[in-house]
A and B are shown apart, each in its own frame.
Chain A
């Protein structure tokens, strides 16, 4: 039997549907719990609704990019496995690197369905699964104690505690801001486009921020990030 038939079988789609169902139940459970906690804490319902609405809107564009990643992975692993993998824990970058490394370790020249056997496929899935578990296992065993220590530090010196959390965000953002430099050195045109996209997104965000802060355009508040991202991406579409 052609392995593509197995990778895209009804059985694999059923597994994918079960994973999607699990994620739905999980998300609804956390959403409900946080909503109730917010009500108990006296957080305004309108604020919570705004957070939910703006997060949902913000998520659309990156999710379409994730769907594109699923399509990219489908040539090597079929549709259901990437669907499961991108629904739980992973990201396109990790999944592709892990799957490709596992495939090469199993002796495949490249990650393509036509090269695959059920034994190699099973090996790849096991490697992809085991190697992604460190974060969730850390959370099960250590997150509670770790967050308690961070909170204690914040309570001891509130200004310094806030600076540490701001530094966490800033460190992550600055790392990503530097990435186009590497792309420029590898593929100058693609790198300069990425740099331009960053600048356009930042400029559009600045304009939106100005409109919200100074021109009382409060309706923009929940849409500043998606609008800026789309402006940057449209720029790439025009010149790419």
Chain B
């Protein structure tokens, strides 16, 4: 009995130690990444002796920041619990979240038969996103080195439609993966999105589609709560 208790304590200690250290490391690397990002325009200005136009920066910020700063924060709130600690820090530094890192982590957890939210899931998500980031990095380096011979191939009329449809292909497969396992949860958000995209003026629908994920997530959670209370899921 006492052995079991001691083992449980050790597990809890390990869990807490991993969680603490991944947040410390994550914050450190994220801080370094922010500094590196800010250093790029600074290095450009210093090297080429350029003084950027303050008015143009302000005007640009007003156009872009009002949309993307809230979206960035909402994305962190929405995607954090999906990815877990380590993978969140890594994915938010390396980017390409919805088109690559999150599907990659989802698929990895699905194959490993591990549920999101556990410490095991955090570890496997981190392995998945790290491997993904390394491969993208390598492909971009190779692509930049071979840009001249690769450009006509990648932009050829045969391949262009295929690459224009990476995201539909990705979400078609993921859609089956998730909806087949929990179709009741999908009814409300799918109906909401379809009705919204059919009813709204097309320009408005296009504009809001990029920032719609958090709203759809809230609606899905509300639907899930209803189904849970009615013991239907």
Max chain B C-beta neighbours (<10 A), residue from A59, A140, A200, A209: A59
Determine if A55 is an interface residue (Cβ-Cβ < 8 Å): yes
Q: Mark B107-149, 1 if CB is under 8 A from A, else 0.
A: 1100110011101100110111111111111011101100100
- In the complex, chain A residues 1-35 whose Cβ is within 8 Å of any chain B Cβ: 6, 11-12, 15-16, 18-20, 22-24, 26-31, 33-35
CA distance A106 to B53 in the complex (A): 8
A33-B22, A135-B72, A181-B198 as given contacts; A51 in contact with B111, CB under 8 Å: yes
Contact of A137 with B197 in the complex, beta carbons under 8 Å: no
Q: Which residues of B contact A112 (CB under 8 A)?
A: none
- In the complex, chain A residues 79-130 whose Cβ is within 8 Å of any chain B Cβ: 79-80, 83-84, 86-91, 93-94, 97-98, 101-102, 104-107, 118-130
Contact of A234 with B60 in the complex, beta carbons under 8 Å: no
Q: Which residues of A contact B205 (CB under 8 A)?
A: 181-182, 185
Contact of A106 with B59 in the complex, beta carbons under 8 Å: yes
Query: Number of residues in B with C-beta < 8 Å to the partner?
Result: 157
Contact of B64 with A131 in the complex, beta carbons under 8 Å: yes
Contact of A143 with B194 in the complex, beta carbons under 8 Å: no
Closest to B108 in A: A51
CA distance A22 to B173 in the complex (A): 32
Contact of A131 with B69 in the complex, beta carbons under 8 Å: yes
Q: Which residues of B contact A120 (CB under 8 A)?
A: 53, 56
Which of A19, A123, A147 is close to B36, meaning CB atoms less than 8 Å apart?
A19
Query: Number of residues in A with C-beta < 8 Å to the partner?
Result: 155
CA distance A154 to B122 in the complex (A): 14
Contact of B33 with A136 in the complex, beta carbons under 8 Å: yes
Which of B40, B61, B185 is close to A163, meaning CB atoms less than 8 Å apart?
B185
CA distance A133 to B120 in the complex (A): 29
Closest to A194 in B: B168
Q: Mark A48-86, 1 if CB is under 8 A from B, else 0.
A: 101111111011111111111011001000011001101
CA distance A136 to B127 in the complex (A): 19
Max chain B C-beta neighbours (<10 A), residue from A40, A136, A151, A194: A136
Interface of B is mostly: helix
Question: Would you give 14 A-B contacts (Cβ < 8 Å), ordered by A?
Answer: A26-B29, A26-B33, A50-B112, A55-B127, A56-B131, A70-B144, A83-B140, A87-B95, A124-B60, A163-B228, A175-B193, A197-B169, A225-B103, A236-B164
Distance in Å: Cβ of A123 to nearest Cβ of chain B: 4
Contact of A171 with B52 in the complex, beta carbons under 8 Å: no
Contact of A140 with B31 in the complex, beta carbons under 8 Å: yes
Distance in Å: Cβ of A193 to nearest Cβ of chain B: 7
Contact of A56 with B50 in the complex, beta carbons under 8 Å: no
Given contacts A66-B100, A198-B171, 13 further A-B contacts (CB under 8 A): A20-B140, A26-B33, A33-B25, A55-B128, A70-B140, A74-B147, A98-B64, A130-B61, A172-B98, A176-B98, A201-B169, A205-B172, A225-B173
Q: Which residues of A contact B44 (CB under 8 A)?
A: 12, 15, 118, 121-122, 125
For the complex of A and B, list the 4 residue pairs with the smallest distance between their C-beta atoms, beginning with the closest.
A240-B161, A134-B72, A171-B217, A201-B172
